[in-house]
């Protein structure tokens, strides 16, 4: 049963990422679960989220791990997939059970960014992402050619 619960939290995490991006820029087109390129042995590769703005794309793999286990080991394969994806791709990850060694590997690779996922017990549509220092949002803006500095201009 914990697996089912974790899968649901993983989907909620992905939807919180989608809302976070949409809240900060309504000009970014957001696609979910779309095929992009191929994995080994000619299997189609599906990205969790694809952001598009004026002909530029950014793929996002959303990975959340709340319970102990070996699921975090899949992050090694996810990292390998990002390196060969035909569009720039990053891994946004969260969860108390992602081990420090893989966190370090993801972050130092330049592909991984850790955020905090705050689920709302009463309403999943209010789940939120805490993006310390706005590193995730900064990466999105830079990859899509948006004005990162303009995000903080006072109106």
> Does the residue 155 lie in any domain?
no
Which of the two residues, 130 and 40, has the higher pLDDT score? 130
**Can you give the CATH number for the domain in which 28 is found?**
3.40.1350
Containing domain of residue 41, as a range?
2-150
Identify the residue whose tokens are 């975090």: 72
As for how many domains the chain has, the answer is 1
> Does the residue 110 lie in any domain?
yes
> Does the residue 16 lie in any domain?
yes
Predicted local distance difference test score (pLDDT) of residue 154: 55
The model's pLDDT over 92-135, given as tens digits with 9 standing for 90+, comes to 999 988 889 889 999 999 999 999 999 998 999 999 999 988 99
The average pLDDT across 35-64 equals 90
> Does the residue 133 lie in any domain?
yes
Instruction: Report H helices in 1-155.
Output: 2-24, 74-84, 100-109, 135-143
Predicted local distance difference test score (pLDDT) of residue 2: 47
The average pLDDT across 59-76 equals 82
Q: Is the pTM here over 0.95, yes or no?
A: no
């Amino acid at each position: 049963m914990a697996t089912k619960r974790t899968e649901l939290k993983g989907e909620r995490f992905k939807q919180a990422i989608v809302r976070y991006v949409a809240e900060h820029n309504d000009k970014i087109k957001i696609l979910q679960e779309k095929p992009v390129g191929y994995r080994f042995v000619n299997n189609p590769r599906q990205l969790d989220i694809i952001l598009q703005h004026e002909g530029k794309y950014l793929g996002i793999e959303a990975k959340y791990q709340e319970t102990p286990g070996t699921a975090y080991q899949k992050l090694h394969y996810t990292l390998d997939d990002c390196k060969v994806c035909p569009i720039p791709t990053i891994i946004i990850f969260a969860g108390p059970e992602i081990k420090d060694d893989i966190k370090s590997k993801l972050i130092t690779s330049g592909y991984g960014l850790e955020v905090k996922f705050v689920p709302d017990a009463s309403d999943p549509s209010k789940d939120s992402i805490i993006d310390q220092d706005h590193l995730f949002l900064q990466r999105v803006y830079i990859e899509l050619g948006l004005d990162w500095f303009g995000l903080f201009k006072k109106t």
